[in-house]
Structure 1
Amino acid sequence: MPFIELESHLPGITGLLEFRKDSALPIRELTQFLLRGPSSLTEGERELIATVVSNGNQCRFCTAAHTAAADLLLGETDTARQVKENIDAAPVSEKMRSLLTIADLVRVSGKAVTEEAINNAKEAGASDIEIHDTVLIAALFCLYNRYVDGLSTALPADPAYFGTLAERLVNHGYTRLPQGYDHLKK
């Protein structure tokens, strides 16, 4: 049960963002830019970063949401599952493996990121902007994970919710739906 009164039809982060639309706006805009804006990393790869961080932070809502979005963007379910289990054995490029490792280190602490991890990413072909954006995405999802869990937001009653949410994230992005979310009431 959430620690504050939220719309019951909006589990997880959506309820929080609707609760404070003014503070939600810049967070949504940054997320939209980082996960859907121009990048040499695919949208699926950026969702994998969100998945690894959320999973490592044990945020059930965010892990399920970003796993579903990554699965939809990648067109399969094995990669997201495997990066959550073992980044080193996952079916991703060496560059992506090194970036996911950096993201996981950021999740632990910014100070956990080592020069060795950065050099490994560069040797695997990661650009400075890809490294920068990986760290920023990881830090942003640490914020989201702590926001969702720190206010004890609800998980959806129906796990199929995450498929619908993934379609919304893939097709609309991270900005607020123009019509709002009343259509989700049952």
Structure 2
Amino acid sequence: MSEQQQAAISRFPVPELSEMPEDIRDRILAVQEKAGFVPNVFLVLAHRPDEFRAFFAYHDALMDKPGNLTQAEREMIVVATSNLNQCQYCVVAHGAILRVRAKDPLIADQVAANYRKADITERQKAMLDFAVKVSMQAFAVSEEDFATLKRHGFDEDDIWDITGIVSFFGLSNRMANVTSMRPNDEFYSLGRQAR
């Protein structure tokens, strides 16, 4: 086993699956069955069961809903803003999800490094410009920002969704950084081959 594989996934205690409440254990086993592995975020956050439930309920409400934002666009927001927050876990994990959902092996690296130069649409760049502003300067968001997004086809619900995703992952990024949450090795190769 390499040193990386032996490294702790959190600086806080990680409960054993058998010690977790049944609903949390069932959720983790369902994720494992679907993904083929258990993303470390589930194990790390199981340290606090009530917070685990609240975290994933809000995550699912933001990321799994229908709407004008595609699932890939939602992941773009996570990758771009998590990079600003220097969150290794979220850039790596959501970068993998972005590659899979966009069916594009290059997009996550492009968005993380500099979305302005990425091979994405002008609409998506406007979306990420707004997401970055919400992440770094929410106090400066103005009606002009709303007008720009509306010119690109976003409506009020979309703007709320973008804001919610940025805000939620601001929390997630900070928890991941402070807990020293380690990305699973499996994330690094997911979606790297063109389909």
TM-score by length of 2: 0.74
Match of 2:107 in 1: 79
Match of 1:107 in 2: 135
Partner SS, residue 19 of structure 1: coil
What amino acid is the match of 2:132? D
Kindly provide the CA deviation profile for residues 85-131 of structure 1, in whole angstroms up to 9, marking residues without a partner as x: 22222222222211111111122132143433332111111111111
For this pair of structures, how many residues does the alignment match? 163
**1:89 is aligned to 2:117:** yes
Q: Which one of 3, 8, 12 corresponds to residue 4 of structure 1?
A: 12
RMSD (CA atoms): 2.3
Structure 2 counterpart of 1:75, which letter?
K
Structure 1 portions without partners, runs of 5+: 167-186
> Match for residue 33 of structure 1?
61
1:66 paired residue number: 94
Q: CA deviation at 1:31?
A: 0.9
1:18 to 40, 46, 49: 46
Alpha-carbon distance in 2 for matches of 1:27, 1:73: 22
Larger Rg: 2
Deviation at 1:140, TM superposition (A): 0.4
**Aligned residue in 2 for 1:177:** none
Q: 1:152-163 alignment to 2 at 5 Å?
A: 152-156=180-184, 159-162=185-188
Shift of 1:7: 4.7
Normalised by the length of structure 1, the TM-score is 0.77
CA separation of 1:79/1:162 partners in 2, compared to 1, >3 Å: closer, same or farther? closer
Q: CA deviation at 1:160?
A: 2.3
Contact 2:76 2:108 in 1 (8 A): yes
> Aligned-pair distance for 1:162?
4.9
Contact persistence 2:68–2:154 (CA under 8 A): no
Counterpart of 1:44 in structure 2 is: 72
Indicate conservation of the 8 Å contact 1:6/1:16, yes or no.
yes
Percent sequence identity is 27
Judge conservation of contact 2:96–2:187 (CA < 8 Å) in 1.
Answer: no
Aligned partner of 1:128: which letter? E
Paired amino acid for 2:12: I
- Alignment match, 1:141: 169
Where does structure 2 lack aligned partners over 5 or more consecutive residues? 1-7, 18-37
Would the alpha carbon gap of residues 33 and 8 (structure 1) be closer, same or farther in structure 2, given more than 3 Å must change? same
Instruction: Tell me the alpha carbon deviations over residues 35-59 of structure 1, each in whole angstroms, 9 at most, x when there is no partner.
Output: 1111111111111111111111110
